[in-house]
Chain A
């Protein structure tokens, strides 16, 4: 079993904090919508006509927020369970897509947008899911810190000769030739993975084996 580092725990904490913030936002909207219904009821009791269509719209809005909250909690649940098993077979599309969604709020702090392109056909690899999530998160962080004026990052999953690769396309002509990844090196070793920078594109490519066992 691999060791969970302080950085891994901090990563877990950051993701959970970001998710809890999203849930708070959903609850705040439902709270205001419920309050609005109450306000309209009080006004109706005072003789103002109650617009039934308006009430229906507010109820629909509340249902939309409940669906949003449910999706957030489902993602949190998937993320939490990724630490259950040290090594297992995972869908790289699903795992990378999850981290892309969980990173959206973090990206918006940089004023940046993330888009995700899954591999055309399902791609499964045998890996350490939690460690891979940590590395993907860090790659997104590296890309965000260097995404230049355009502030758009595309994350694409593809099949490769060795197994699979995750590409991070960054539209920044001043993207560096190399990136110091000291904090990531043992984690990359643990996954038998490699992180390469291609300034000409510019992009970062995370190379992953089909099976680490």
Chain B
């Protein structure tokens, strides 16, 4: 089974390139360029793991994360931050993100985290009462 991954980042070139590289690593990847589009997509599609940029125009990363957790609590979120300090990322962990990476990051490290997140979500889904 391949994880369904959503990359949320307002830097379109970054998002497209990362999507292609993750597709070489057995991921099914979609892209959203802002928080609102991401929330719409997550509500409609079965997304396993979200790669979420924290600094975005309009609805920011933390607000997007809160919405994602409200509509799909089992969807795992990995934050990507360009900030030199980790305060916002720590705030994200408190509201339900699984982990964070600093930009620029190593794709192998990200792919490993995605696989961990996918496994975690699968376990949680099995535990969930039907």
| B58 in the interface (beta carbon within 8 A) | yes
Q: Which of A27-35, A73-81, A128-136 contacts B (4 or more CB under 8 A)?
A: A27-35
Main secondary structure of the interface of B (DSSP, over half): loop
Asked if A21 and B14 sit within 8 Å, CB to CB, the answer is no
Encoded as 1 (CB less than 8 Å from any B CB) or 0, chain A from 3 to 37 comes to 00000000000000000110011011111110110
* Interface residue total, chain B, C-beta cutoff 8 A: 20
Main secondary structure of the interface of A (DSSP, over half): helix
With beta carbons under 8 angstroms apart, the residue of A21, A31, A36, A109 that contacts B57 is A109
| A108 in the interface (beta carbon within 8 A) | yes
With beta carbons under 8 angstroms apart, the residue of A24, A27, A36 that contacts B17 is A36
Asked if A29 and B11 sit within 8 Å, CB to CB, the answer is yes
The chain A residues found within 8 Å of chain B, CB to CB, are 20-21, 24-25, 27-33, 35-36, 39, 43, 61, 65, 108-109, 111
The chain B residues found within 8 Å of chain A, CB to CB, are 10-11, 13-14, 17-18, 20-21, 24, 55, 57-58, 60, 82-84, 103-105, 107
Minimum distance in angstroms from A186 CB to a CB of chain B: 31
Chain B residues near A43 (CB, 8 Å)? 24
Chain B residues near A25 (CB, 8 Å)? 11, 14, 82, 103
